[in-house]
Chains A and B, each alone.
Chain A
Amino acid sequence: MRIPTPIIEYALILPMLIVFGAAVLSVGFEAFISNKYRRQSQVLLTVSALALALIALIIVGNTNARSLAVEGTIAFDGPGVFMQFIILLSSILATLIMAERRVDPAGDAFAPRASAVAGSEDEVIVTKMGLVQTEVWPLLLFSVSGMLLFVSANDFLVLFVGLEVMSLPLYLLAAMARRRRLLSQEAALKYFLLGAFASAILLFGIALTYAYTGELNFGAVSAGISANNNAAGLLTVAVGLVAVGLLFKVGAVPFHQWVPDVYTGSATVVTAFMASAVKVAAIGGLLRAFFVAYGGYAWDWRPLFWAVAILTMLVGSIVALSQIDVKRMLAYSSIANGGFILIGFASTSRAGTAAILFYLLTYSLATIGAFALVTLVRDPSGEANNITRWKGLGKKSPLMAGLFGFYLLSFAGIPLTSGFVAKFTIFVAAVAGGALPLVLVGVVASVIAAFFYIRIIILMFFSDPDPDGPVVVVPSKITAGAIAFTSVASAVLGVFPQWVIDYVSSVSVFLR
């Protein structure tokens, strides 16, 4: 018996291979490079690998090579390329702010030894020894490679593998915050348990899909669904379970309970990564599974998405009103924004895909910028995350407060910011898909959400600062550069969005 050799299109999966290879290399760095040089080499490796992958992606993506790869299990198509682009870009920016060590006098944002019991003598000793945690870098690289795989998957098994490669490092990253160790560990455990549970549900849904169609490849599943009219109940259960598993990753209501705790407990730089790259990846996987594999079944799953979108927008916005912690508030804002993205699922059209892609780009850039600014407001015990402590920041540090205010206005969807254009494109696509009620709920949620964004602006600009309030730390040039990049990009995308909108409209076709 001869087993045929699989054909692998190396060029098309080059970005993934670069990141994955770098992750493996990075593990080697952990073992073989001495303490003294390890951190620098890890950071250098991570940034250069991600940048190289981004360059490779741009080069290959520009050749118009659009095809399925690796025996049809990976789709190198327009949406996939664009989502990989967003993920790599936001990962680079997140890496830059993760490498910051000037804002915290104790070192970088990570615990020197995450396994030490919180508050124990052991912890004090390792802190005194000046140990530096460098395992975050291989973890980050593994997670990014998982994301790249996840958003390009054209096969349920690849989707699942991508999901796990992406998620497992994240559980660890969540546990590594330097400050407030207990919260961080609690966040990681919660994330892990719920995440494992959601993975199991997803896997069960995949199994049932296989039972119904006998296929795992998205194209084949789609064909199988349209060919088969019997026992639709089985398929409904399968689709429902897959939706639950993936919506958990998105953080959509009612599967959002982990989001505020994990976003608050993790180191803020890790939260920035989760709220941008991970969110993009989760939406990307959801798009693939439901637009490609279950696209022919849209009439049946659409009501579910309507309900989830409405709940997510409203719950996210309303609960955010009562938050007094900036990170928790941003977590709920992230949930609510997920709801707005889900409006785009109301129309399985090219316009819907394009709108979602544009939204993802603008949202992830603004999110990284906002969280990076959160890390700068500090008092002696660490970040000052309580909103009342932010009183009068506009007078103390007009630049920082001005930029943060700009991001808040962008999240609130005020015109001339990128957030407005994103919301507008989503609304237009949704109305064209017959989802006017969803848009109306979106409008109501936007007004509610405006309340808490504006409350922070009022606090920052219209009150006088406390004499013993937190200080705004001046970051290193690298972090400042990352913030400047996201700010300029957000402003430009708000005023001149036409090139990006044209581009996403031209690449919004999925291959199957």
Chain B
Amino acid sequence: MSLLLLALVLTPFVGALLIPVANKYFKWSAKFTGLASAIVTLLLALAIAISFDRNSSSLTQFDFKVSWIDVFGISFHVGVTGIGLVLVLLTAVLTPIVLWADFYAAVKRPILYTSLILLLAGSANLIFLARDLFLFYVFFEAMLIPVFFLIGIFGGANRAKAAMKFLIYGLAGGLIMLAAIVALTLIATTQLQRSTFDIATLSQSISLTPMQEMWLFLGFFIAFAIKAPMVPLHTWLPDTAEQATPGTSTMLIGVLDKIGTFGMIALVLPLFPNASAQLAPWIIGLAVVSVIYGAILAIGQKDMRRLFAYTSISHFGFIVMGIFAFTTIGIAGATLYMVAHGLSTAALFLVGGHLIKQRETALIADYGGLTKVAPVMAGFFLMAALSALALPGMAGFVSEFMVLTGVYQRYQAAAIVATLGIILAAIYMLWLYQRVFTGPENEKSNLIKDLSSKEVIPLVPVFALLILLGFWPQPVLTTIEKSVANVMQQVDSVDPAPIFAIENKEQN
């Protein structure tokens, strides 16, 4: 079974290498080879998801481990955790959709574009599955390069600057984390008498002094807070999203940014439970600021893509809150939130991308009254917007509700303030819809073509999943259940007794 996992890990990379070769020698188009390997990856991910034992409480399943750099105790070790699995599935679902969507947007240099998207997806998979800290770090950093080129070669007018900003932010975060990793392994080496990068060993067999734990925690957390963009380390995201193609933005915000929040769950909490618990109030505070600040700035944006980016900053605030609430429902909700947000971001960027491509402007003021000329597009956009503002019946609602419940169990004030984010979300989303699709028609509105059936195809699975998970989130929740329980156990945290139940008892 572990070979199945290896195949899943390798397929995108093989695909990326195969694209130029197959194009040259067999005349296979980049679209064909790229989509084929993305779909094979999806099938492999589904096969793993089906055979994943949801009742097993072992840390990982399907482990594949070979020694890599022996002197430092580094191995190529991948394994499936419940949380990792849902994110792999998210990546596997989004990759073919993005490839499909961008082909109809007639991307220039399709061979390079498809290869880079596959490299990005492959690196993301490895990060979600890595059980060795060095392996995690290598792809955490290496993944920056395909995205850098995706932004810089295929992006808009200011792409070079945006790409530079993205890469420098990413590198700075990564190098801080590198220093922390090196220090952590030194401590491990002195305590265990051998060098190791095994995540499970590091989290279980090492004892850190509070001082050490605090510094190492910061080293990791800053790297992840840049990636997941949290205020005040978020400024790269709007600039990047404004310049990148819709497909790149979908992968960037939908998948790559999830690595930040995934890292918090998979590395920060298990490795530094005490420091995490100690600093949790501060982080929750910062997350609330992200929620509100991101939402308010989203309201004020003139550019659609920047607006989407700020909504994501707001949503990442919710995810981080859920993680650092240290409750089962909070962490489970945060994981579901990652999936829901990935899907609704894809919906927004892909539908919005069609609009922006036709008029070559992303300014909201340049549009108006599109419901008449493009009813199908308007319908999809409205659904995407409703999903982003967490309307009941959409996946976003379930996860947001779970996160807020989880946070409320420990931090009532934070949960109440964050609820304002939901109201603000309704404002930025519906107001955007109103300005673009309703109201008086812009003089150029009749130039807009509605979505063709080929353009609708990639959107169907996204919306189907958004609605499915809105009514029936069980598949995700049962998958991550044991994994979340493991995290709770690693941070040595017990869910607080439900507040209302106690109150009721007292009344009796």
- Give chain A's interface residues, CB within 8 Å of chain B: 409, 412, 414-416, 420-421, 424-425, 427-428, 431-432, 436, 439-440, 443, 446-447, 450-451, 454-455, 458, 461-463, 497-498, 501-502, 505
**Would you give the shortest CB distance from A499 to chain B, in whole angstroms?**
10
B360 at the A interface (CB under 8 A): no
A462 to B176, CA, bound (A): 28
Contact A462 B159 (CB under 8 A): yes
Asked if B145 and A414 sit within 8 Å, CB to CB, the answer is yes
Determine whether B149 belongs to the interface, using a CB cutoff of 8 Å to chain A.
yes
Contact A498 B163 (CB under 8 A): no
**What's the minimum C-beta distance from B197 to chain A, rounded to whole angstroms?**
11
The residues of B that contact A454 with a CB separation of less than 8 Å are 148, 164, 167-168
Known: A450-B167, A458-B164. 15 other contacts (CB 8 A): A409-B145, A414-B141, A414-B144, A414-B145, A428-B186, A436-B179, A439-B182, A443-B179, A447-B175, A451-B168, A458-B152, A461-B149, A461-B152, A498-B69, A501-B72
B163 contacts A427, C-beta separation under 8 Å: no
| Contact between chains at A498 and B172 (CB < 8 Å) | no
Closest to A458 in B: B160
Residue of A416, A431, A440, A505 with most chain B CB atoms under a 10 A cut-off: A431
Instruction: Tell me the smallest distance from the CB of A428 to a CB of chain B, in Å.
Output: 6
Instruction: Kindly state the separation between the CA atoms of A427 and B145 in the bound complex, as whole angstroms.
Output: 22
B45 CB to closest chain A CB, in angstroms? Answer: 23
The complex places the Cα of A457 from the Cα of B331 at a distance, in Å, of 40
Residues of B within 8 A of A432 (CB): 186, 189
Q: List, in ascending order, chain A residues with CB within 8 A of B67's CB.
A: 498
Residues of B within 8 A of A447 (CB): 168, 171-172, 175
Most buried by B among A420, A458, A463, A505: A458
Q: Which 4 A-B pairs have the closest CB atoms?
A: A415-B138, A462-B160, A462-B152, A443-B175
Q: Mark B68-112, 1 if CB is under 8 A from A, else 0.
A: 111110000000000000000000000000000000000000000
State in angstroms the CA–CA spacing of A421 and B178 once bound together: 12
Among candidates B68, B69, B138, residue contacting A416 with C-beta atoms closer than 8 Å: B138
In the complex, 5 of the A-B residue pairs with CB atoms within 8 angstroms, ordered by the A residue number, are A415-B138, A431-B183, A432-B189, A443-B175, A501-B69
> Complex: how many Å from CA A451 to CA B168?
7
Q: Which of B140-156 contact A (CB under 8 A)?
A: 141-142, 144-145, 148-149, 152-153
Query: Could you tell me the distance in whole angstroms from the C-beta of B493 to the nearest C-beta in chain A?
Result: 31
State whether the Cβ of B185 lies closer than 8 Å to any Cβ in chain A. yes
By the criterion CB–CB under 8 Å, are A443 and B178 in contact? Answer: yes
Task: Knowing A415-B142, A440-B179, A450-B168 are in contact, say whether A458-B163 is a contact too (CB < 8 A).
Answer: yes
A123–B52 CA distance with the chains assembled, in angstroms: 78
- A461 contacts which chain B residues (CB < 8 A)? 149, 152-153
Asked if B137 is at the interface (CB within 8 A of a chain A CB), the reply is: yes
Complex Cα–Cα for A93 and B403 (A): 60
Within the assembled complex, what's the spacing in Å between the Cα atoms of A432 and B139?
24
Instruction: Say how far B168's CB is from chain A's closest CB, in angstroms.
Output: 7
A residues near B185, Cβ cutoff 8 Å: 428
The reply to whether A498 and B70 form a contact with Cβ atoms under 8 Å apart is yes
Contact status B182-A431, CB under 8 Å: yes
How far does the alpha carbon of A436 sit from the alpha carbon of B182 in the complex, in Å?
9
Seen from chain B, the residues whose Cβ lies within 8 Å of a Cβ on chain A are: 67-72, 137-139, 141-142, 144-145, 148-149, 152-153, 159-160, 163-164, 167-168, 171-172, 175-176, 178-179, 182-183, 185-186, 189
Contacts known (A427-B178, A431-B186); A415 close to B68, Cβ less than 8 A: no
Docked pose: A439 CA to B179 CA in angstroms:
7
Cβ of A319 to closest chain B Cβ, rounded Å:
18
Contact at A502–B175, with CB atoms within 8 Å?
Answer: no
Which A residues are CB-close (under 8 A) to B142? Answer: 414-416
Contact A497 B69 (CB under 8 A): yes
In the complex, what residues of B have CB within 8 A of residue A455's CB?
A: 164
Chain A nearest CB: distance from B86 CB in Å?
A: 26
Given the interface contacts A431-B183, A432-B189, A498-B68, does A415 sit within 8 Å of B168 by beta carbon? no
Question: What distance in Å separates the Cβ of A92 from its nearest Cβ neighbour in chain B?
Answer: 28
- Contact residues in B for A416 (Cβ distance below 8 Å): 138, 142
Q: Which residues of A have CB within 8 Å of B160?
A: 458, 462-463
For A501, list chain B residues within 8 Å (CB). Answer: 69, 71-72
Bound complex: CA A409 to CA B142 (Å): 10
CA distance A71 to B113 in the complex (A): 63
Tell me the complex Cα distance, A261–B139, Å: 38
B176 to chain A, nearest CB (A): 7
- Contact of A415 with B70 in the complex, beta carbons under 8 Å: no
Bound-complex Cα distance A409 to B189 (A): 30
Q: How far is the CB of B487 from chain A (nearest CB, A)?
A: 26
Q: Which residue of B lies closest to A444 (CB)?
A: B175
The answer, among B149, B159, B172, B178, for a CB contact under 8 Å with A424, is: B178
Alpha-carbon distance A455/B137, docked complex (angstroms): 24
- In the complex, residue of chain A having the shortest beta-carbon distance to the beta carbon of B185: A428
Q: Tell me, in angstroms, the Cα distance from A440 to B172 when the chains sit together.
A: 12
CB of A443 within 8 A of CB of B176, answer yes
By a CB distance below 8 angstroms, the chain B residues around A427 are 178-179, 182
Neighbouring A residues of B152 by C-beta, 8 Å: 458, 461-462
In angstroms, Cα B72 to Cα A428, docked, is 9
Can you name the residue of chain A whose Cβ is closest to the Cβ of B141?
Answer: A415
Distance to closest chain B CB from A161 (angstroms): 36
> How far is it, in angstroms, between the C-alpha of A425 and the C-alpha of B160 when the chains are bound?
32
| A421 contact set on B, CB distance < 8 A | 69
Instruction: Collect the chain B residues with CB atoms within 8 Å of residue A409's CB.
Output: 145
Other-chain contact of A446, B138, B175, B183 (Cβ < 8 Å): B175
Which of A443, A450, A502 is B71 in contact with, Cβ under 8 Å? A502
B89 CB → nearest A CB, Å: 25
Contacts of A443 in B (CB 8 A): 175-176, 178-179
Chain A residues in 8 Å Cβ range of B72: 425, 428, 501
Cα distance A414–B123 in the bound complex, in angstroms: 14
Which of B69, B163, B182, B189 is A462 in contact with, Cβ under 8 Å?
B163
- Considering the chains assembled together, what is the distance between the CA atoms of A414 and B69 in angstroms? 17
Docked CA distance A458–B149 (Å): 9
Q: Given the complex, which residues of B lie within 8 Å of A505, measured CB to CB?
A: 71
Shortest CB distance B344–A (Å): 31
Taking CB as reference atom, which chain B residue is nearest A446?
Answer: B175
Cα-based distance from A343 to B72 in the complex (angstroms): 18
Per the bound structure, the CA–CA distance linking A461 and B148 in Å amounts to: 11
Q: Which residue of B lies closest to A394 (CB)?
A: B153
Min CB distance, A485 to chain B, in Å?
Answer: 21
Cα A409 to Cα B138 with chains together (Å): 14
Contacts of A425 in B (CB 8 A): 72
Minimum CB–CB distance for B508 against chain A, Å: 59
A505 to B185, CA, bound (A): 18
Tell me which residues across on chain B come within 8 A of A420, comparing CB atoms.
138, 141
Query: In whole angstroms, how far apart are the Cα atoms of A427 and B148 in the complex?
Result: 26
Contacts of B186 in A (CB 8 A): 428, 431-432
Chain A nearest CB from B109 CB (Å) reads: 10
Inter-chain contacts of B178 with A (CB < 8 A): 424, 427, 443
B187's nearest neighbour on chain A, judged by CB, is: A431
Residue in A closest to B140 when the chains form the complex, CB atoms = A415
- Least Cβ–Cβ distance between B492 and chain A, in angstroms: 28
Knowing A498-B68, A502-B70, the reply to whether A450 touches B189 (Cβ < 8 A) is no
Q: Which residues of A contact B153 (CB under 8 A)?
A: 461-462
In Å, the complex CA distance between A431 and B183 comes to 7
Q: Which residues of A contact B176 (CB under 8 A)?
A: 443
List of A residues within 8 angstroms of B148 by Cβ: 454
CA of A442 to CA of B167, assembled, Å: 18
A451 to B68, CA, bound (A): 31
CA distance A368 to B219 in the complex (A): 35
Select from chain B the residue with minimum beta-carbon distance to A416.
B142
Residues of A within 8 A of B71 (CB): 498, 501-502, 505
Give bound CA distance, A328 to B175, whole Å: 26
Shortest CB distance A217–B (Å): 32
Q: B69 to chain A: which residues have CB within 8 Å?
A: 421, 497-498, 501
